[in-house]
Amino acid sequence: MIGLYFPGTSLIHRMRPGWKLAVLALTVGFAFTLHRPWQVGAALLGLIALFAVARIPWRIGLAQLRPLLWVVPFIVIFQLIFATWEVALTSTGILLFNVGLASLLTLTTTVTDILNVCQALLRPFHRFGLDPDRVGLMLALTIRCIPLVAGIVTDVTQARKARGVTGIRGSTLALAAPAVIRALRTADALGEALRARGVDD
C-alpha cells in the first residue's frame, strides 16, 4: 500500500475499484476450494496472465512475493511432515495465488480509490455514529505513518552508530526513547499540518 501503485492504463487499472475488491474477495474464497495441484497450477497461470494484462514488470510482480520467502519453507516442511506433498503443494500455491492477487489490486489501484470504496462501504454505518470520512482519514494516516516511523527509526539507529553504539549493544530503551519522542513530535506536527489543510474543520 505504501506507494505500491504502479501507474498504467490497462484494463485492470481502469476497472472500477469496487469491482476489483469484489472480484478479489470472490476469487480468494474460490481459491480455497481448490484441492488438486493441477487446479492450483492453472490458477497461478491465470494470475500470471492477469499481471501480463496489467503490464506489471515481472520484477515488480515477484517483489510482492518476497515477504513470503520466510513463511513458505515452514509451511512446506510442516505439510510434508504432517500431510502429503500434494497438500504441501496446493496450500503453498493457494497462498502465493492469494497474495499475488491482492498485490495486483494494490499495484493497479491508488490508495485514494481503495479508501473511497472503504468509505462507501462504511456509509450505511453513519447512522450508528461511525464517520466514514474519519475512518478513511485514519486509514490514510496509518499508511502514511509507516514510512515516517521507519525513517525515524533509521535516523535514530544511524545516530547511535555515529556515537559508536552498534548491533544490540546499548539498551533497547536508548533506541526506543528517542524514536518514540520523535514519533510523538512528528504526530503533533502532522496534526497541525492537517489542521492547516482544513481537515477536521
Residue (of 3, 92, 2, 103) closest to 48 by Cα position = 103
**Which grid cell sits at 119?**
468509505
Using CB under 8 A as the binding rule, the residues of this chain from 4 to 33 that contact another protein are: 5, 7
Question: In what helix (H) or strand (E) does residue 158 lie, and over which residues does it extend?
Answer: helix 132-162
- The values of phi and psi at residue 125, to 5°, are -85, 0
Which lies closer to another protein via its Cβ, residue 52 or residue 138? 138
- For 92, the grid coordinates are 503453498
Span of 35-43, 47-55, 74-82, 109-117 interacting with another protein by CB under 8 A = 109-117
Q: Is 39 in the site for another protein (CB under 8 A)?
A: no
Out of 14, 164, 169, 201, the only residue in the binding site for another protein (CB under 8 A) is 201
Q: Which of 15, 72, 143, 175 binds another protein (CB under 8 A)?
A: 143
Q: Name the residue with cell 546499548.
A: 170
Q: Look-up: residue for cell 547511535?
A: 160
199 binds another protein (CB under 8 A): yes
Using the rule CB under 8 A, is 168 a contact of another protein? Answer: no
CB 20 → another protein: shortest distance, Å?
Answer: 17
- Options 35, 123, 134, 144; binder of another protein; rule CB under 8 A: 144
> For residues 36-60, b (16+ Cβ closer than 10 Å) or e, as one string?
eeeebeebeeebeebbeebebeeee
Rounded CA gap, 100 and 28, in Å?
10
Residue choice 140, 174, 179, 183 for contact with another protein (CB under 8 A): 140
Q: Give the binding site for another protein (CB under 8 A).
A: 1-3, 5, 7, 110-112, 140-141, 143-144, 147-148, 151, 186, 189-190, 192-199, 201
